[in-house]
């Protein structure tokens, strides 16, 4: 399979190159030149690892089946608590796809446990002997998942930037306590969009560090995005096997998202043959995506809100560029991205806007609505959800109210453990919040009747190893300094 940039379809690269580079040289993101068909007739016979293998074999055919099989097994066999990377849980008339049973208790684990293996395979295929330095901006969960995946992986270094004061206490602790001689973490004085733009600028200018190449663990990297496609197929398989749908029935998916990567993976699954009905894009108070789907105008010129669903506090949704490119082509996409950079906005024509709305539905929920949902779901089902999942559930209810004729079975992606966000969850349940996070987690354990994740509990007692706080304009120099260190 070959890949081209969202901004130029004339030049293609192979999968190892796309994965290693992370972002195209023209600033665009890599897309497959075509979407191969998933053999739906075989889906019910495949186990979890085989679903991932089938998905990745179609997209990354430069790797042998045995190479991918080994990478997938090493990524998933021991890193997920119950052996199932994405179990379905019924909740009323919908299903939650729980994606938080990995080592950092967030959906990012599904891809970031696998990405280091894909990156090492890619480097080997290309004969790269330089160290690969992973640069990542995070709104909360990508950072800890990437650090876990790349910690002490030979031939790699990883530098993670997160917004100072813009992540939850648990998300911060997961990052700043991460061991590994090849790990670096820094808080930046700005929001996630500032950090993400800084990383993109570093890629565009390619720091000259002898013996080091740079790549990304954000979903701008196709090697990070592709593994997420598999759990859409797996959810569909499970619904069929449980008799909830028949093969060929359409299924809706609700996705809490800020950077648009997780929901785009669902769109890719649809392009590969999965019977997807509507993809429902759930945003928080930073409703830039909601407004985009409602009006056809993408405008980041607005107040930035710090919310309880911190991982979605984003105004520049990078992966939207991939969707736009698939609909309007590279020339218009390049023009839109130029307008976004220069003026902070761009506007779709009416035909394109209508085409997107046939596939997607966008709505949002603010913190008050999120808290109401957390309490409502707990009282009705005795199930505690984190604030991001609660945003998704709130938007699901809005979608049902607006589209009563849509009777498709719906799956809501549950993206993080509530134990990562006790200071948002406990007040919503009417319970006191303590300064001591251990007490908060114990309170949630008692209320919910669930076991607290061992990895999070261990994090509370780990030593803080990363204490740097830097200015946005110092990111490039910081990367050059840290990437050049030999430790």
Q: What is the pLDDT of residues 348-362, one digit of tens each?
A: 999 999 999 999 999
**DSSP string computed for 409-454:** EEEEEE-B-GGGGHHHHHHHTT----SSHHHHHHHHHHHH--PPPH
% residues pLDDT > 70 (the chain): 99
Band (297; pLDDT cuts 50, 70, 90):
very high
Adjacent-strand bridge partners of 5: 8, 30
Task: From the candidates 11, 25, 69, 108, give the one annotated as an active-site residue.
Answer: 108
**DSSP string computed for 344-365:** SEEE--HHHHHHHHHHEEEEE-
What is the mean pLDDT of the segment spanning 253-270?
96
What is the mean pLDDT of the segment spanning 275-304?
97
What is the mean pLDDT of the segment spanning 58-85?
92
Adjacent-strand bridge partners of 281: 255, 362
Mean per-residue pLDDT of the chain = 94
- On whether residue 316 sits in a domain, the answer given is yes
Distance CA(313)–CA(310), nearest Å, equals 5
- Cβ atoms of 55 and 38 within 8 Å: the answer is yes
Please tell me whether residue 219 adopts helix, strand or coil conformation: coil
The CATH code of the domain that includes 230 is 3.40.50.1100
Q: How, if at all, do strands 409-414 and 251-256 pair? A: parallel
Q: What is the pLDDT of residues 381-412, one digit of tens each?
A: 999 999 999 999 999 999 999 999 999 999 99
- On whether residue 211 sits in a domain, the answer given is no
pLDDT (0 to 100) of residue 485: 64
- On whether residue 319 sits in a domain, the answer given is yes
Per the annotation, the verdict on 108 as an active-site residue is yes
Distance CA(33)–CA(25), nearest Å, equals 17
- On whether residue 237 sits in a domain, the answer given is yes
pLDDT (0 to 100) of residue 169: 87
pLDDT (0 to 100) of residue 168: 86
- Cβ atoms of 419 and 453 within 8 Å: the answer is yes
Please tell me whether residue 295 adopts helix, strand or coil conformation: helix
Q: What is the pLDDT of residues 164-223, one digit of tens each?
A: 998 888 889 999 999 889 999 999 999 988 998 999 888 888 777 888 888 888 888 999
- On whether residue 484 sits in a domain, the answer given is no
Q: What is the pLDDT of residues 364-379, one digit of tens each?
A: 999 999 999 999 999 9
pLDDT (0 to 100) of residue 3: 98
Q: Would the pLDDT of 345 be above 50? A: yes
Angle between helices 115-126 and 65-76 (to 10 degrees): 150
- On whether residue 259 sits in a domain, the answer given is yes
Please tell me whether residue 483 adopts helix, strand or coil conformation: helix
Full domain range(s) for residue 346: 88-105+223-454
Place of tokens 């570093």: 202
Total domains, the chain? 1
Q: Which helix (H) or strand (E) holds 156?
A: strand 156-163
């Amino acid at each position: 399979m070959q890949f081209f940039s969202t901004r130029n379809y004339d030049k293609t690269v192979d999968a190892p190159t796309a994965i290693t580079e992370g972002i195209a040289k023209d600033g665009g993101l890599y897309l497959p030149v075509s979407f191969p068909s998933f053999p739906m007739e075989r889906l019910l016979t495949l186990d979890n690892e085989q679903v991932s293998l089938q998905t990745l074999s179609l997209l990354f055919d430069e790797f042998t089946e045995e190479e991918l099989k080994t990478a997938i097994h090493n990524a998933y066999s021991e890193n997920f608590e119950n052996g199932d990377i994405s179990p379905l849980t019924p909740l009323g008339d919908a299903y939650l796809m729980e994606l938080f049973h990995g080592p950092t208790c967030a959906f990012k684990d599904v891809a970031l446990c696998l990405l280091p293996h894909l990156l090492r395979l890619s480097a080997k295929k290309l004969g790269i002997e330089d160290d690969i330095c992973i640069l990542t901006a995070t709104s909360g969960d990508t950072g800890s998942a990437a650090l876990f995946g790349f910690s002490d992986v030979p031939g790699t270094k990883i530098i993670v930037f997160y917004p100072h004061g813009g992540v939850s206490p648990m998300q911060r602790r997961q990052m700043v306590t991460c061991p590994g001689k090849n790990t670096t973490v820094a808080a930046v004085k700005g929001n996630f969009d500032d950090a993400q733009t800084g990383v993109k600028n570093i890629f565009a200018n390619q720091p000259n560090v002898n013996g080091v190449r740079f790549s990304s663990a954000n979903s701008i990297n196709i090697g990070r995005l592709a593994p997420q496609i598999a759990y859409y197929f797996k959810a569909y398989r499970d619904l069929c096997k449980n008799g909830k749908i028949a093969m060929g029935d359409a299924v809706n998916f609700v996705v809490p998202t800020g950077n648009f990567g997780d929901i785009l993976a669902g769109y890719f699954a649809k392009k590969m043959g999965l019977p997807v009905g509507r993809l429902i894009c759930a945003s928080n108070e930073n409703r830039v995506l909601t407004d985009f789907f409602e009006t056809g105008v993408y405008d980041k010129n607005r107040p930035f809100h710090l919310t309880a669903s911190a991982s979605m506090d984003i105004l520049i949704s990078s992966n939207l560029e991939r969707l736009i490119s698939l609909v309007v082509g590279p020339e218009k996409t390049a023009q839109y991205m130029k307008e976004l950079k220069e003026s902070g906005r761009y506007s779709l024509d009416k035909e394109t806007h209508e085409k997107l709305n046939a596939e997607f539905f966008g709505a949002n929920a603010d913190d008050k609505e999120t808290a109401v949902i957390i309490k409502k779901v707990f009282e009705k089902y005795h199930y505690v959800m984190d604030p991001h999942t609660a945003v998704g559930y709130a938007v699901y209810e809005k979608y049902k109210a607006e589209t009563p004729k849509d009777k498709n079975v719906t799956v809501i992606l549950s993206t993080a453990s509530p134990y990562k966000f006790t200071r948002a969850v406990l007040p919503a349940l009417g319970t006191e919040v303590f300064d001591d996070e251990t007490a908060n987690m114990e309170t949630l354990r008692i209320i919910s009747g669930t076991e607290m994740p061992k990895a999070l509990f261990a994090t509370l007692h780990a030593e803080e190893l990363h204490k740097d706080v830097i200015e946005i304009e110092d990111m490039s120099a910081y990367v050059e300094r840290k990437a050049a260190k030999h430790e």
